[in-house]
Structure 1
């Protein structure tokens, strides 16, 4: 496994575009810290974002993982381009000639996917810890380390999304086409949900119950949007007579569904390579 990982590291090391995109991704995550310094002045009223509780423990784990997950498309580009380069530069064929089996090749790519997800998760943990210790109103150990399941959900979400990108890269061979297919799939899931919700199953939960098993929707369900969880938003909604009662917990079912998709994407990638004439 270390041999396979070292091979992939060497490939990424000499891929300038992959290095640049990866750096941009991690720099953008650190920009979350800039939110803390944003201050709005409305006459005599001074409003600073950090004072609204978004960096309070344990809410910060929910907020930062949700925001960081939005940026995952940057690493997705690295994943699909990494796979596309294997075809463009014929390194895939050369690896097979050198004795690496197709199973080991797919495993090496999956290890890279897991590595990207793990590094990103650790990075989000460090950034969140620094921001939380700097701005949180709650410093008790029990509060600081509660809700860490959002980091697990973030890790699984990245592995699932990157595995999907890996599968698309293997399937269509070209990074631009793979990203295009990903966008089309995302739009298709959204359109299908709207059709089910507003055309076929109005005023029921059938659309949600069905769509939760689709890949991108199941990944989205791992970390629910955190904005409506804030006390200020809840109070404003109550005054307007709105009910924002949601289940913000990381659910076992979404974790299992995404884990199943991870297995399927990796397995299908292997089947495609196994049957394809390289």
Structure 2
């Protein structure tokens, strides 16, 4: 495993675009701390984001992982480029000539996916602790460790999304086409959901679409903003009943895990079938 990872990181080290995108990703992640300084007016109310409880434990685990997950496209480009460069630079064929099997090649890519997801999760973990202990009104250990399952959901969300990108990279061999296909698939899932909701019901549409790859990854970490103090206050004043399930469920993790297996296995099957 370490040998395969060493090979991959050596390649990434000598790829300028991969280095720039990776560094930009982690730098932008650190900008989450700047959210504390955001202020805006909503009618006659002046709202300061830091006063809305976003950095309070345990909510901060939910908020930070959701925000960080929206930035995953930076590393997705790295993953797709990593595959396309193997074909364009003919390093894939050279690696196979040098004795690397197709299974080892695919494992090296999958290990890289896991490494990126693990590094990002660790980064969010450390940053969340720093921000939480700096701004949270609650720092008791039992409260701090509550809702840390969002870190697990974040890790699986990244691994699932990067595995999808890895599969698309192997499938079409070109970065632009792979990313374009990803966008088309996202549109397809949304159109399908709209058709299902129109022809059946919202409940049936939700029940079906949750098994599709992008939607299953999205469901791991739901939109957190309804939990903000001013949203809850406004809902209470308007007597609106906002009931959203924010929990991370085991079956959602299981669905994404199945997709991870299918993406990696399919990518390996494609690679094994092709005459390089």
Q: Secondary structure at the match of 1:47?
A: strand
Tell me what 2:195 maps to.
195
1:96 corresponds in structure 2 to 96
Tell me how far apart the structure 2 counterparts of residues 181 and 108 of structure 1 sit (CA, whole Å).
24
* Matching residue of 1:224: 222
Counterparts of 1:1-278 in structure 2 under 5 Å? Answer: 1-40=1-40, 47-197=47-197, 199-202=198-201, 204-278=202-276
Tell me the SS of whatever aligns to 2:37. Answer: coil
The alignment's C-alpha RMSD in Å is 1.5
How far has the Cα of 1:231 moved from its partner?
3.3
| 3-state SS of 2:47 partner | strand
Q: 1:119 to 1:253 in 2, by over 3 A?
A: same
- Deviation at residue 42 of structure 1 after TM alignment: 8.4
For residues 67-115 of structure 1, the C-alpha deviation after alignment (integer angstroms, 9 at most, x for no partner) is 0000001100000000000000000000000111101100000000000
Aligned equivalents of 1:145 and 1:153: distance in 2?
A: 15
The structural deviation recorded for 1:37 is: 1.6
Rate the CA distance shift 1:246–1:47 in 2: closer, same or farther, 3 A.
closer
Give me the TM-score of the superposition, normalised by structure 2.
0.97
**Structure 2 unmatched runs, 5+:** none
SS across alignment from 1:31: helix
Q: CA deviation at 1:44?
A: 9.6
In 1, the alpha carbon distance for the partners of 2:266 and 2:80 equals: 15
Alignment partners' CA distance in 1, 2:227 and 2:206 = 21
CA distance in 2, matches of 1:275, 1:187: 30
How many residue pairs align between the two structures? 276
SS at match of 1:205: helix
Q: What is the alpha-carbon distance in structure 2 between the residues aligned to residue 93 and residue 8 of structure 1?
A: 15
Q: TM-score, normalised by structure 1?
A: 0.96
After TM superposition, the structure 1 stretch with the greater mean CA deviation from structure 2, 123-132 or 212-221, is 123-132
Change (3 A) 1:97 1:135: same
Cα distance between partner residues in 2 of 1:81 and 1:239 = 50
CA distance in 1, matches of 2:120, 2:226: 25
